[in-house]
């Protein structure tokens, strides 16, 4: 009578209503992109892990382990895409866009010259990405600076030890419904209306406890 | 005056609405009229004034693939070729079953038409990210650099199913922009409809004939080359033997 209880990874819900990003990202896009693609990655991963010793890791660990130093295990694509999508949904908010502030803005100005220069680099990276992939703002641990990078298919900067601050999904399923081939408009809309600088600020604050971004200021007395 | 060989956007061999309802006019307007067009335009910009200028599309693809270290023009050149090939792979009222030599080879190499179909579906559903699924005639060649395979195997000179990422080509599915407007995430439906209603088996048969002829010609040429090489070798061995016997003569007995 008592059936075996299995707990698997679940599909995380975006931190806003499914129509909350309208008109910049339509409800239909969320229904398909989150409700179908993202769900398929989760289901696919759970199926792969059913009898696997890999089960039980956090998603971040799983992404790193299955990347296997650049010789990815079969679970990598699903694991990384689950993590990437969770991160992407949380990189946006209704009424987002505008400007970052405080320490994050200072760091952007230090590493890119100005906020506009950062935006230019981010948009350029998105438009020159060939095929499916992602554009990221990351804090490079060793170089101790913010950098824009692009990755192919499921690859996430986690695998190189970088700390992601923002992600933009450049797979066609992310924008085709709303923008068709107009990637310029999609990327600019993300920047001007969707990106959550709140989320980025929180991530940056956490990142700072792993990376020394300047001369340490030791408190006196 | 520099010669500018500009590539042109080749129209599909049917009207944009003639694949309805399986592939909508809107999909063709975007996929052919915009995506395909921008590959052509970008290629023309990239090629102008470079050493690739004046080459045929196939030559550019091979030169810019650069044995795996791809040059910037590769993606656009290969996507232009892939799309031309893709449009010609379909026709209004397509689908059904192939016949003749093509069907015989499919049955010989896959066991049955349905097995081939299953393999194609599997190949495309496991293509992660953007890419293409192909039905290809594999000659006796290695996959890398089209080198002659020194160890011919039973996989040579037969039909195979292959999938390739992004722009790489060795024939017939596409990025999600090929099906997203009509099928959203239902990729399996798209593939099924492609096989049932769109694929042009006449075109496929004609291509197979060309491929087999070419492979046979190449095999004959290589056989001839080998014979000539062997003759050369025999000749040089003969010379050496002569010298040896010369030496033998000079040796004291």
Inter-chain touch A172–B75, beta carbons under 8 Å? no
User: What value does the mean pLDDT take over residues A66-77?
Assistant: 94
B58-87 residues touching A, CB cutoff 8 A: 75
pLDDT value at residue B170? 56
Inter-chain touch B176–A177, beta carbons under 8 Å? no
The pLDDT mean for chain A works out to 92
Q: Cα(B45)–Cα(B39) distance, rounded to whole angstroms?
A: 10
Residue among B166, B167, B175 minimizing CB distance to A172: B175
pLDDT value at residue B177? 65
Write the pLDDT tens digit of every residue in A125-177: 999 998 899 999 999 999 999 999 999 999 999 999 999 999 999 998 999 99
- Residue B174's nearest CA partner among B89, B82, B94, B92 is B82
Looking at the predicted complex, does its ipTM rise above 0.85?
no
pLDDT value at residue B45? 92
B25 interfacial to chain A (CB closer than 8 Å): no
pLDDT value at residue B148? 47
CA atoms within 13 A on the CB side of B114: 0
| Sequence-ordered alpha helix ranges (H) in B3-162 | 25-30, 37-47, 57-65, 73-88, 100-110, 113-125
User: What value does the mean pLDDT take over residues B38-44?
Assistant: 93
| Secondary structure of chain A in HEC code, one letter for each residue | CCCCCCCCCCCCCCCCCCCCCCCCCCHHHHHHHHHHHHHHHHHHHHHHHCCCCCCCCCHHHHHHHHHHHHCCCCCHHHHHHHHHHHHHHCCECCCCCCCCCHHHHHHHHHHHCCHHHHHHHHHHHHHHCCCCEEEEEEEECCCCEEEEEEEECCCCHHHHCCEEEEEEECCHHHHHHHHCCCHHHHHHHHHHHHECHHHHHHHHHHHCCCCCCCCCCCCCC
pLDDT value at residue B154? 57
Least CA distance to A183: which residue of chain B? B35
Report chain A residues whose CB lies below 8 A from the CB of B128.
Answer: 77, 153-154
Count residue pairs from A and B with Cβ separation < 8 A.
51
Residue among B35, B165, B185 minimizing CB distance to A32: B185
Inter-chain touch A171–B35, beta carbons under 8 Å? no
A106 interfacial to chain B (CB closer than 8 Å): no
Cα torsion A61, A67, A72, A73 to 10°: value is -10
User: What value does the mean pLDDT take over residues A28-56?
Assistant: 91
pLDDT value at residue B145? 40
Q: Is the pLDDT of residue A4 over 70?
A: no
Q: Is the pLDDT of residue A95 over 50?
A: yes
**Is the entire prediction scored with pTM above 0.90?**
no
Q: Is the pLDDT of residue B152 over 80?
A: no
The pLDDT mean for chain B works out to 79
Cis-peptide, bond into residue A114, ω within 30° of zero: no
Mutate to test the interface with A, among B77, B167, B180 (most CBs of A within 10 A): B180
Inter-chain touch B30–A77, beta carbons under 8 Å? no
A180 interfacial to chain B (CB closer than 8 Å): yes
Residue among B128, B165, B177 minimizing CB distance to A181: B177
Q: Is the pLDDT of residue A2 over 70?
A: no
Write the pLDDT tens digit of every residue in B186-237: 888 888 899 899 999 999 898 888 888 888 887 788 788 888 887 777 666 5
Q: Is the pLDDT of residue B5 over 70?
A: no
Q: Which of A73-87, B51-65, B183-197 has the highest mean pLDDT?
A: A73-87
């Amino acid at each position: 009578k008592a059936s075996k209880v299995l707990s698997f990874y679940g599909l995380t819900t975006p931190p806003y209503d499914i129509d909350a990003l309208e008109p910049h990202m339509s409800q239909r896009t969320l229904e398909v992109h989150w409700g179908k693609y993202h769900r398929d990655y989760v289901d696919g991963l759970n199926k792969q892990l059913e009898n696997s010793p890999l089960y039980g890791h956090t998603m971040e660990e799983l992404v790193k382990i299955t990347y296997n130093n650049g010789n990815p295990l079969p679970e990598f694509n699903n694991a990384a895409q689950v993590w990437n999508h969770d991160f992407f949904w949380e990189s946006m908010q209704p009424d987002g866009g505008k400007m970052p502030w405080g320490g994050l803005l200072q760091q952007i100005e230090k590493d890119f010259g100005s906020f506009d220069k950062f935006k230019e680099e981010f948009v350029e990276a998105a438009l020159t990405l060939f095929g499916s992939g992602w554009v990221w703002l990351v804090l490079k641990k060793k170089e101790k600076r913010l950098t824009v990078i692009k990755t192919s298919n499921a690859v996430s900067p986690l695998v190189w030890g970088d700390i992601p601050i923002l992600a933009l999904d450049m797979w066609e399923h992310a924008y085709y419904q709303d923008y068709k081939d107009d990637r310029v408009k999609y990327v600019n809309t993300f920047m001007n209306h969707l990106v959550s600088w709140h989320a980025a600020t929180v991530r940056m604050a956490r990142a700072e406890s792993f990376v020394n971004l300047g001369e340490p200021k030791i408190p006196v007395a | 005056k520099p010669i500018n060989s500009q590539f042109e956007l080749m129209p599909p061999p049917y009207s944009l609405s003639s694949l309805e309802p399986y592939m909508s006019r809107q999909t063709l307007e975007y996929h052919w009229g915009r995506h395909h067009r921008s590959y052509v335009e970008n290629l023309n910009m990239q090629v102008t004034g470079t050493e690739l200028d004046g080459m045929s599309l196939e030559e550019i693809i091979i030169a810019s693939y650069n044995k795996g270290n791809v040059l910037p023009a590769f993606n656009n050149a290969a996507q232009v070729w892939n799309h031309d090939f893709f449009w010609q792979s379909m026709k209004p009222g397509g689908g059904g079953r192939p016949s003749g030599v093509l069907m015989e080879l499919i049955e010989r190499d896959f066991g049955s038409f349905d097995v081939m179909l299953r393999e194609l579906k599997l190949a495309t559903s496991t293509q992660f990210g953007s890419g293409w699924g192909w039905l290809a005639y594999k000659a006796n060649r290695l996959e890398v650099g089209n080198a002659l395979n020194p160890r011919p195997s039973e996989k040579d000179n037969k039909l195979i199913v292959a999938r390739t990422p992004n722009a790489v080509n060795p024939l017939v599915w596409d990025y999600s922009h090929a099906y997203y407007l009509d099928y959203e995430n239902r990729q399996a439906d798209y593939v099924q409809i492609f096989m049932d209603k769109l694929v042009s088996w006449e075109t496929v048969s004609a291509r197979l004939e060309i491929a087999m002829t070419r492979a046979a010609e190449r095999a004959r040429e290589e056989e001839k080359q080998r014979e000539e090489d062997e003759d050369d070798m025999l000749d040089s061995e003969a010379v050496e033997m002569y010298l040896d016997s010369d030496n033998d003569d000079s040796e004291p007995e």
